Amino acid sequence: MTTLTNALQALADFCQQSDSSTAITFHRGVEREALRVDRSSGRISHKPHPKSLGSALTHSAITTDYSEALMEFITQVHPSVEGVTQELEDIHNLVNHELNQLNESLWPASMPCFLEGNDDVPIAYYGESNTGKLKRVYREGLSNRYGRIMQCIAGMHYNFSFDESFWSFLETYKGHTNLSEADKQKFQSDSYFALIRNFRRHSWLLSLLFGASPAIDESFLKDKPDALSTLQERTWFGPKATSLRMSDLGYQNKAQADLYVCYNEVDTYISTIKKALQTPYQKYQNIGLKVDGQYRQLNTNLLQIENEYYSDIRPKRVTQPGEHPSAALQSRGVEYIEVRIMDLDPSSPIGMQTATLYFLDVFLLYCMLRGDEHLDAHECNKLRELQQQIASHGRDLDMAFDFGHGGVKLRDKANTVIEALLQVAQFLTSQTGNTAYLDAVQQQADKLKDEAKLPSAQMLSLCENHQGYQNAMLELSKQQQADWLTRPLSAEIKQAFATKADASIEEQQAIEAADSLDFDDFLKTYLTPQ
């Protein structure tokens, strides 16, 4: 029997001996990004973040990412997929009603709308507190290092964790009993890192099945790369691309190309990130730190802060005020993982399908149970190359790729992984009585039989039918908002969000009033290694 089969059988036995609903409970939440655009022109908004939606600095559900126009919606943690999607629907419904008053709508795709150069992108503003200024200067640094246009790419992040009952099972299954609290923390962190390694081995499958960014507006790049072709008005596309967002044309940090971040254990991962935070980088030194009294970046090192390191998946721990992410991981271990590879689904008004979240649950359980071999630097680099190759050429399902043991047809390799995922989905369906797990995986299996069902193929068809990417996405943006405006916005939801907005503004004001250091001293303290 395979490792996966053994693990599933052991988990089934564990469930049978206890309450099955507690043995396989997942916790999940979503972060969805979306650009605000002028509904008439499809141009990026230059208006401030709507005050009616509260403070972007302190609001827990509605904030901004890089740009003032790049909204981010954050759900709470839910024990069900439906809980996540319902909260997202409530947020989108409210936001679309508010944006309607501004003649604005949400851009439905990951790759941005037409942008008239770097200065067309307004950097997010978070007020005059030291914390707000820190966030602003960090974004100024991103602008000076990489340009603002790349920072307008949007995606969906999936935050996922297991409950205590699952950890009880895994400890017993792997022969770790009567663990101290410190040993439990280490075991869970090590297990999450095993999941991350397996995720990186198979993340190409997510770009293939859910990639929905095969085309861009030509304003995204200065010159057309040879790898892209022209599709109607102002649109460049990859003839066989699934996700240009995840290719070397998308959100990739070339300065970090040789940065080997180890995912084998917490300590080495943290030490690698910390080294990058302390390593001077000549190109960034040339930019300057503070010129004519204005900060151009937080520092001149390879990374300004930890979040600047881009990865398709991250180990996470909720931080305390002023605490760095690595310090939280070091002291309290990995609490959950954040999947960052997912493109927005333009066909969904909330940027994702319910079935996609069910598939991710199956995929992540598979990554946890299939084994825990370590990765070396060579394999990490090969996996990164593979992921980018499939993002650029994955719609050619009969093309051979090297998955580590020579060339294999993409369709064949994908079907092999899907077969394993069907095992996991069948287990989850049998234990919970919820067929959505099995249906979600079967839906993806069907895409491998018909390339036209891939989101990337459907996106190109939409672009062709609407004379290019910009026209197609603007029309879809209008349609989706029109649909939201037909949905009633309950008085309870309006009041709840109004209360939260008011409270967030008051919280920002309190933070600003409480500052006692000038920004130079605050920044020096913040950047001191923890």
pLDDT at 454: 97
- What is the C-alpha to C-alpha distance for residues 205 and 207, in angstroms, rounded to an integer? 5
Question: Residue type for 505, please?
Answer: I
Beta-bridge partners for 400: 409
pLDDT at 530: 78
| Region label for 322, one of left (φ > 0), alpha (ψ between -120 and 50) or beta (otherwise) | left
The per-residue DSSP string of 79-115 comes to: SSHHHHHHHHHHHHHHHHHHHHTTTEEE--SSS----
- What is the C-alpha to C-alpha distance for residues 116 and 44, in angstroms, rounded to an integer? 9
Helices (H) and strands (E) in the chain, counts: 17, 14
pLDDT at 304: 96
pLDDT at 477: 98
Structure tokens of 277?
Answer: 């935070």
Strand 215-217 to 400-402 pairing: unpaired
Closest by CA position to 242, among listed 203, 215, 218, 202: 215
- Predicted model pTM: 0.96
Are 136 and 125 in contact, with CB atoms under 8 Å apart? Answer: yes
Closest by CA position to 134, among listed 527, 528, 529, 510: 527
Helix (H, G, I), strand (E, B) or coil at 29: strand
- What is the C-alpha to C-alpha distance for residues 263 and 269, in angstroms, rounded to an integer? 6
Residue ranges of the chain with per-residue pLDDT less than 50: none
Model confidence pLDDT, tens digit, residues 118-159? 999 999 999 999 999 999 999 999 999 999 999 999 999 999
Closest by CA position to 107, among listed 155, 36, 30, 49: 36
Structure tokens of 378?
Answer: 């060579």
